């Protein structure tokens, strides 16, 4: 197995997830890992959970998955409302088998996963978390941190053995331990994993990109190369669904159009 895809932050966006899964299938990639936040903000929590359960090898716990299962922590009001709505939708599933499957999936998500693998001629130790290697569920690592808080980024790198895949900020790019940050564009959308360079790789968000590009984001790894992919999807349909649900704030719809 030297090819796999990694997705994160689906946020109940079925239109985006469908397009991403089709692209992965088209490339013939059979192994998919997920960095969490399957639910929250968006209109299709059941459908997205079912697809992630069926199509991925495993998934780690995101703060919105935690919020749905236990309680929202540090959420603003609209995010909190979306989380309570998501719980209500999952709790009102009539078919017990489906309901049990979704809740037991959410209830058994680990905070991290690790792989030790050969990537072409290189070998890698890869950690997978939702947010950061220090606080796997809740800590934000922003691109600006490399300038405004380099000490924080250096401390985070002390916790990274080699490569760490993260999501959470919905902003894709690569952090190196200088510290430095590179947008996917600046790398020609490819980061080569090499034996003696540590990297924290943010894979962006499938269902709610926030880097001013409204296309769904994910990565796939082929040999030692991490490829950043962006895909246009029918965000207008997702927006309409959100606006038709009273408990979901219209801002969750508008940000899909604007990529923010
Ligand atoms: Fe998220």
pLDDT digits (tens, 9 = 90+) for 47-58: 999 999 999 999
Residues near ion ligand 1 (CB < 5 Å) are: 9, 37
Q: How far is the CA of 169 from the centre of ligand 1 (A)?
A: 7
Identify whether 184 is preceded by a cis peptide bond (ω within 30 of 0).
no
Q: How far is the CA of 182 from the centre of ligand 1 (A)?
A: 21
What is the pairing mode between strands 225-231 and 32-34? unpaired
- Burial per residue of 22-43, b for 16 or more beta-carbon CB atoms within 10 angstroms, e otherwise: ebbeeeeeeebbbbbbbbbbbb
Q: Which residue has the tokens 């999807």?
A: 233
Backbone angles phi, psi at 99, to 5 degrees: -60, -50
Predicted confidence band at 1 (pLDDT cuts at 50, 70, 90)? Answer: low
- Mean pLDDT (the chain) is 97
Q: Which of 10, 8, 16, 7 is nearest to 237 (CA)?
A: 16
Report how far residue 103's alpha carbon sits from residue 107's, in angstroms, rounded to the nearest whole number: 6
pLDDT digits (tens, 9 = 90+) for 110-140: 999 999 999 888 889 999 999 999 999 999 9
pLDDT digits (tens, 9 = 90+) for 151-194: 999 999 999 999 999 999 999 999 999 999 999 999 999 999 99
Q: How far is the CA of 168 from the centre of ligand 1 (A)?
A: 5
Q: Taking the CB of residue 222, how many other CB atoms lie within 10 A of it?
A: 16
Q: What percent of the chain has pLDDT over 70?
A: 100
Q: How far is the CA of 40 from the centre of ligand 1 (A)?
A: 8
3-state helix, strand, coil split of the chain in percent (to 5) is: 35, 20, 40
Q: How far is the CA of 39 from the centre of ligand 1 (A)?
A: 8
Least-confidence region, from 25-29, 45-49, 71-75, 181-185: 71-75
Q: How far is the CA of 37 from the centre of ligand 1 (A)?
A: 5
> Above 70 in pLDDT, residue 251?
yes
Q: Which residue has the tokens 């489906």?
A: 98
pLDDT digits (tens, 9 = 90+) for 208-234: 999 999 999 999 999 999 999 999 999
Q: How far is the CA of 122 from the centre of ligand 1 (A)?
A: 31
Q: How far is the CA of 196 from the centre of ligand 1 (A)?
A: 30
């Amino acid at each position: 197995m030297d090819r796999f895809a990694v997705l994160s932050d689906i946020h109940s966006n079925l239109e985006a997830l469908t397009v991403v899964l089709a692209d992965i299938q088209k490339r013939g990639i059979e192994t998919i890992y997920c960095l969490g936040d399957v639910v929250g903000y968006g209109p299709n929590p059941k459908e997205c959970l079912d697809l992630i359960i069926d199509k991925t090898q495993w998934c780690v716990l995101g703060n919105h998955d935690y919020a749905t299962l236990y309680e929202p922590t540090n959420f603003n009001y609209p995010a909190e409302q979306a989380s309570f709505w998501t719980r209500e939708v999952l709790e009102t599933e009539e078919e017990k088998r489906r309901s049990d499957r979704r809740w037991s999936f959410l209830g058994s998500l680990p905070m991290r996963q690790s792989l030790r693998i050969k990537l072409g001629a290189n070998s890698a130790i890869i950690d997978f978390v939702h947010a950061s290697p220090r606080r796997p569920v809740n800590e934000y690592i922003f691109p600006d941190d490399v300038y405004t808080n380099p000490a924080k980024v250096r401390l985070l790198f002390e916790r990274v053995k080699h490569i760490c895949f993260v999501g959470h900020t919905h902003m894709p790019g690569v952090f190196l331990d200088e510290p430095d940050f590179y947008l996917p564009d600046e790398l020609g959308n490819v980061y080569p994993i090499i034996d003696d360079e540590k990297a924290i790789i943010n894979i962006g968000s499938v269902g709610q990109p926030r880097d001013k590009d409204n296309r769904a984001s994910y990565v796939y790894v082929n040999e030692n190369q991490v490829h950043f992919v962006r895909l246009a999807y029918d965000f207008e349909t997702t927006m309409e669904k959100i606006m038709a649900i009273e408990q979901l704030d219209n801002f969750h719809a508008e940000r899909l159009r604007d990529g923010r």
